């Protein structure tokens, strides 16, 4: 009766990962940083759709989870650099796969999204 079972196969590894990559721009930030785009202004230029504020927030969270680290050069003008940590590096294969999958399915997905908005007009 109380053999709950239904073997929750959804061990929360997924949830954990989601906790890290959940932010809207976090994957992009990590990807960019991994490619040597590591200064705030550069990152903002690389992701102009977002704002400094939001990027800062998400960078702070990434830092909190120690997937990136922040180097502050106390000088004028200020200079800051972000770099992947060891842990962050281990995330890269995942990000690469996400990117790949998205690339392969882009046209298909795009179509669906566009048709969706078309209907709404």
Does 92 engage in binding with a second copy (CB under 8 A)? no
| From a second copy, DNA, none, interface partner of 87 (C-beta below 5 to 8 A by class) | a second copy
Q: How far is the CB of 1 from DNA (least distance, A)?
A: 7
Q: With beta carbons less than 8 A apart as the criterion, state whether 23 and 58 touch.
A: yes
Can you state the angle between helices 26-34 and 92-104, rounded to 10 degrees? Answer: 110
Given the complex with a second copy, which of 76 and 120 has the nearer CB atom?
120
Q: Is the dihedral of CA 69, 23, 34, 11 positive or negative?
A: positive
Q: Which residue do the tokens 């999204």 mark?
A: 113
- Report d(CA 38, CA 82) in Å as an integer: 5
Q: Which does 63 bind (CB under 5 to 8 A by kind): a second copy, DNA, none?
A: none
- Rank residues 53 and 74 by Cβ distance to a second copy and give the closer one: 53
Q: Which of 17, 19, 51, 100 binds DNA (CB under 7 A)?
A: 51
Please name which of 58, 61, 63 lies closest in space to residue 24, comparing C-alpha atoms.
58
Which chain residues interact with a second copy by CB under 8 A?
6-20, 24, 27-28, 31-32, 35, 37, 42, 45-47, 49-50, 64-66, 87, 90-91, 93-95, 97-106, 108-110, 112-113, 116
């Amino acid at each position: 009766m109380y053999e709950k079972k239904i073997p929750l196969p959804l061990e929360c590894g997924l949830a954990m990962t989601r906790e890290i990559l959940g932010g809207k721009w976090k994957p992009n930030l990590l990807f960019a940083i991994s490619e040597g785009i590591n200064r705030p202004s550069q990152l903002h230029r690389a992701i102009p759709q977002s704002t400094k504020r939001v990027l800062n927030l998400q960078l702070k969270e990434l830092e909190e989870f120690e997937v990136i680290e922040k180097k502050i050069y106390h000088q004028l003008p200020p200079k800051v650099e972000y770099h992947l940590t060891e842990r962050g590096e281990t995330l890269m294969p995942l990000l690469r796969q996400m990117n790949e999958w998205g690339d392969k399915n882009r046209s298909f997905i795009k179509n669906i999204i566009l048709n969706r908005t078309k209907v709404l007009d």
